[in-house]
């Protein structure tokens, strides 16, 4: 069995509350030896801390997601610094920009994104970036204020934008969306991107792959993402897995897998 790292999974989600132990055991049975768990709001930081403490191989990240700006306050930024000072974490995130919002919300998103980038720089941590319909704006902000390491998760920008992010020191991660036949843009990206900048993820419980459409996503489905990447690139699954794991270990400072 191939050992894998799920580089983006919301294992703390309340959608896993009734069967989290089972979800964890299923993941382990399918070779998922590590999980990176980003937070989305201050209210959920304790849950991220709990799963990181209680489940071996689960690593915490703390941040303020752009889609939840109505929940955030400026005090949260001070509390974020306190949280990462007092608890082990491997990244700031999930942070970023979401272009589906109106301009007023985007201004708020930019405020929190910029502040979190500063915190990441101050604490020498990578960032986990959400960039839905906002890749260009994210690139501009990373260029101005970003740390020199991070990942844009569930990447869906252009090849040119991808190379600009890579030039800034960033990785790109891909999950369930690449398993759909209609995802031709993502398929082209996967074929053309350098393997030393690609990682795989599930984003569970969201963004489920085509084989499980309509159901809750789980980290145990990560091998299906691996298979999709390997098939698209016409490369061996072991080669892809080792590259993704190596990239994750380098970015997040994880023990070798």
Q: Domains in the chain, start-ordered, CATH in brackets?
A: 4-252 (3.20.20.140)
Please give the pLDDT value at position 100: 86
The pLDDT-based confidence of 247 (bands split at 50, 70, 90) is very high
| Three-state SS at 93 | strand
When pLDDT is averaged across residues 187-207 and rounded to a whole number, the result is: 98
Residue 180 in this model has a pLDDT that exceeds 80: yes
Please give the pLDDT value at position 256: 86
pTM of the model: 0.97
Residue 239 in this model has a pLDDT that exceeds 90: yes
The pLDDT-based confidence of 251 (bands split at 50, 70, 90) is very high
* Least confidently predicted of 103-107, 120-124, 218-222: 103-107
Chain segment 97-107, per-residue pLDDT in tens: 999 877 778 99
How many other β-carbons are positioned within 10 Å of the β-carbon of residue 168? 16
CA angle 53, 60, 122 (to 5 degrees): 130
């Amino acid at each position: 069995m191939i050992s894998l790292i799920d580089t983006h999974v919301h294992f703390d989600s309340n959608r896993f509350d009734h069967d989290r132990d089972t979800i964890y055991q299923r993941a382990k049975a399918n070779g998922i030896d590590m999980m990176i768990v980003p937070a989305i709001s201050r209210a959920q930081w304790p849950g991220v801390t709990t799963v990181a403490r209680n489940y071996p191989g689960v690593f915490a990240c703390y941040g303020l997601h752009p889609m939840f700006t109505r929940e955030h306050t400026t005090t949260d930024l001070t509390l974020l610094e306190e949280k990462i000072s007092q608890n082990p974490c491997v990244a700031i995130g999930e942070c970023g920009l979401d272009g589906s919002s109106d301009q007023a919300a985007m201004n708020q998103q930019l405020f929190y994104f910029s502040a979190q980038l500063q915190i990441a720089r101050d604490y020498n941590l990578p960032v986990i970036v959400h960039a839905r319909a906002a890749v260009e704006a994210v690139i501009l902000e990373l260029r101005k204020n970003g740390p020199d390491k991070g990942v844009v998760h569930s990447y869906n920008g252009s090849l040119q934008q991808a190379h600009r992010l890579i030039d800034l020191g960033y990785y790109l991660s891909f999950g369930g969306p690449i398993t759909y036949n209609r995802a031709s843009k993502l398929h082209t990206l996967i074929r053309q991107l350098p393997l030393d900048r690609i990682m795989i993820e599930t984003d569970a419980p969201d963004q489920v792959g085509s084989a499980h459409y309509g159901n809750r996503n789980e980290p145990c489905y990560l091998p299906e993402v691996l298979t999709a990447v390997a098939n698209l690139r016409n490369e061996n699954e072991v080669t892809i897995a080792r590259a993704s794991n190596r990239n994750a270990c380098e970015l997040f400072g994880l023990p070798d897998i």
